[in-house]
Amino acid sequence: MTVDKISNTINALVGSARVGRYTDNSGHRDDIRLKLMDNYNQEPKDIKRIWVRNSTGEMLPLSDLISLEEKGSMLTISRYNRERAVTVFANIAPGKSQTDAMEFVQKVGREALPKDYHLEFSGNSQTFNESFESLMIALFLGIFVAYMVLGSQFNSFIHPLSVLLALPFSVSGAFLALWLTGFSLNIYSMIGLLLLMGIVKKNSILLVSFTNQRREEGMSVRDALS
């Protein structure tokens, strides 16, 4: 006796199995299903009344092959990345940002989840994390490319550093403005921060170029900067 034969027999007699179709007088096609009658399909003990045919054609009672155990179970099992998962959906509360909500979920997860359980963000939260990481990569790549371009422009390794030293002040100023206005650091503010850094870098290039030009005219460093 194979497990496949037992499961197919129980599935057919208890859950019903389609064995054919027929067309009625109106032309509608209906299913022909095989199933136990309702008075033999109500309690767990009714399963043991089923007989199963083995590979040699012999009929055996299912009560000699199985044992019943009643316990709680999920109606459906969902998975995420090949792991069993429970998906939780939620909306952001008024006055809170998505970053605040994600930090709260991570905090609760660390405190409440048992061992071997972990959190995975999906949907909008996953897109938010990926976008934020992409912007950070773009920021560092932009600084590196800017240094290479400025190095070829000034023909120096020092002057590009002087230009890029102004970028931290733009970041601190942007964070201060966000804190004073009560806005959060999100995708839109990150894009604005990148634009602000570009404007500050442009102004810094003009200042360094003008200072170098005045030094070439014979002025000292202090006088050229003043």
Tens-binned pLDDT, residue by residue, of the chain (226 aa): 888 888 888 888 887 888 888 888 888 888 888 888 878 777 877 887 888 888 888 888 888 888 888 888 777 888 888 888 888 888 888 877 777 888 888 898 888 888 888 888 888 787 777 777 887 888 888 888 888 888 888 888 888 888 888 888 888 888 888 888 877 777 777 788 888 888 888 888 888 888 888 878 888 777 777 6
Chain centroid, CA 198 distance in Å: 31
The whole-number pLDDT of residue 50 equals: 85
Q: Would you call 17 helix, strand, or coil by DSSP?
A: strand
DSSP annotation of 113: S
The structural domains of the chain, ordered by start, are: 3-64 (3.30.2090.10), 74-120 (no CATH), 124-225 (1.20.1640.10)
The whole-number pLDDT of residue 98 equals: 77
Judge whether 215 and 221 are in contact, CB under 8 Å: yes
How much is the pTM?
0.47
- The DSSP-derived string for 28-68 is -EEEEEE---GGGSSSGGGGGG-EEE-TTS-EEEGGGT---
